[in-house]
Amino acid sequence: MKFQSTRGHSPSVSFGTALAQGLAPDGGLYVPEQWPALGPAAFDGAATLPEVAEALIAPFAAGDPLAGEIRAIVREAFDFPAPVMPVARGGKLSVLELFHGPTAAFKDFGARFLAASLSRLRQGHAKPLNILVATSGDTGGAVAAAFHRRPGIEVSVLFPRGLVSPTQERQLTCWGDNVHSYRVSGTFDDCQRLVKEAFVDPGLIARYDLSSANSINLGRLLPQAVYYAATSLAIQRAYGVTPGFIIPSGNLGNSVACVWARKLGLPIGRIVLAHNANHTVPDYLRSGDWQPRASVPTLASAMDVGTPSNMERLRALFPDVGSMRDAVRAESVSDEEIRQRIAHDFRAYGKTWCPHTATAAEVFARMPQSERANARWVLVATAHPAKFREIVEPLTGQQIEMPESLAKLFTRPVSCADLSPELAALGGALGRPREQ
């Protein structure tokens, strides 16, 4: 199995090389040259997340040195559940809870898979691997936790000053050792731009072995496709129907993972993308005019992306807007609608949503009754509401119990450096002696 750049100007590479490089040399994102056919029969006997993960990911690693390690990697990475829970008794709406990992967000799945994979690939290397990760909230915490104290790997986490929740910032800055946190004077888009510029800068490429743990990395997307595969198979086996998914969307990695799972042959129906006030993607699907823009801050901060990187992967599958409209739908939700949905669904169902999950719940509530009633829908819950207590608790009137994994972070000291949004500043930070 080989992987090619979305921009078509770099050589095709193997699975392990795509994971280690993160971004292709021409600035594009890696996508499969060919797509395995993995219908439901390919998962016969696969009931647990690690079993589904092995069946889904193994074909992509075929012929790579990591091929023989996939079984061990997925059992190391997928050691927590992703339960599907009913929203209301007797109804057809469910919620896929992706917040039971170490940092209480869906990013734990991909980050832990990538860490387990890169640790194996880097064994015996004298030069450390420098992982750069831009985050609008949850990615950086998941990556920091997954790579913390991994030998031979240094991690630099870039996050926008003042644009993440207090709990998220704690997650980003409490690690030390081989994890280095930088508070950037700008937006997430500035952080993402710095990472992309670093990967194509000749000076930095010559000095460092660079990789990325953002959703631009193939090793983040494929493991995220696993929980869509497992959920769709479970629903089809139980009810004989194909579910649709409503996905909180920002940089589009989680959304593309679902699209890829359906492309492979999993029983997935309609895919609806729920965006916050950063509505670049909904605008494109409506007008056909792609206009990236600066991000705006919202309550759903992890989705504050004005120029989503993974649109390149969507456009690689759907080159024109018409084919993309047939594949996905996208809607935008305002901060006030997020607030109202959190309060309403707590009263109506006893469910406590984080602001991101609330965007998906709001999009579902907008659907015509016939569309809601005639299919099984799955809301994708991307983060635990405790990460956004300052927003959620006043709306529900209830204190949110902190998961043990998050509570532990508040016992750790924090360490962070401020960074201006220029590549020279990032290069200088990478060149400073690292604390041991």
Which CATH number fits the domain that encloses residue 375? 3.40.50.1100
pLDDT recorded at residue 436: 42
378 domain-assigned: yes
The helix or strand, by DSSP H or E, that contains position 418, with its residue range, turns out to be: strand 417-419
Give domain status of residue 9, yes or no.
no
* Contact assessment for residue 2 and residue 35, using Cβ atoms and an 8 Å cutoff: no
User: What's the Cα-to-Cα distance from 297 to each of 105, 136, 224, rounded to whole Å?
Assistant: 20, 10, 26
Nearest-5° angle of CA 244, CA 326, CA 312?
Answer: 95
Q: How far, in Å, CA of 155 to CA of 152, rounded?
A: 10
Separation CA 371–CA 364 (nearest Å): 9
What lies within 8 Å, CB to CB, of 344 at 6+ separation is none
Model pLDDT, residue 433: 56
The whole-number average pLDDT for the span 126-144 is 85
Mean pLDDT of 23-33: 93
In a domain, 146, yes or no: no
What are the backbone angles phi and psi of residue 433, rounded to the nearest 5°?
A: -60, 135
Higher pLDDT, 345 or 138: 345
Mean pLDDT of 277-294: 96
Cα-Cα-Cα-Cα dihedral sign, residues 304, 305, 306, 311: negative
In a domain, 124, yes or no: no
Strands 93-97 and 84-86, sheet pairing? antiparallel
Q: Considering only CA atoms, give the Rg of the chain.
A: 20
Q: Find out whether 216 and 312 touch, Cβ atoms under 8 Å.
A: no
Asked if residues 195 and 157 have their Cβ atoms less than 8 Å apart, the reply is: no
Beta strand 179-184 with 153-160: parallel, antiparallel or unpaired? parallel
pLDDT tens for each residue of 349-373: 999 999 999 999 999 999 999 999 8
The answer to whether the beta carbons of residues 356 and 302 sit under 8 Å apart is yes
Q: What is the dihedral of CA 329, 107, 354, 374, to 10 degrees?
A: 40
Residue 180 within any structural domain of the chain: no
Q: Considering the domain boundaries, does residue 275 fall inside one? A: yes
Residue 307 maps to a domain: yes
Residue spans of alpha helices (H) in 58-165? 70-77, 107-121, 138-147
Tens digit of each residue's pLDDT (9 = 90 or more) over 52-84:
999 999 999 999 999 999 999 999 999 999 999
Domain that holds residue 368: 81-106+219-401
Instruction: Name the pLDDT band for 434 (thresholds 50, 70, 90).
Output: low
| Residues of the chain above pLDDT 70, percent | 98
Nearest CA to 153 out of 206, 212, 218, 74 is that of 212
Indicate the number of domains in the chain: 1
Q: Is residue 320 part of a domain?
A: yes
Q: Quick one: which of 130, 128, 195 has its CA closest to 159? A: 195
Predicted pLDDT of residue 7 = 96
pLDDT digits (tens, 9 = 90+) for 152-178: 899 999 999 988 888 888 889 999 899
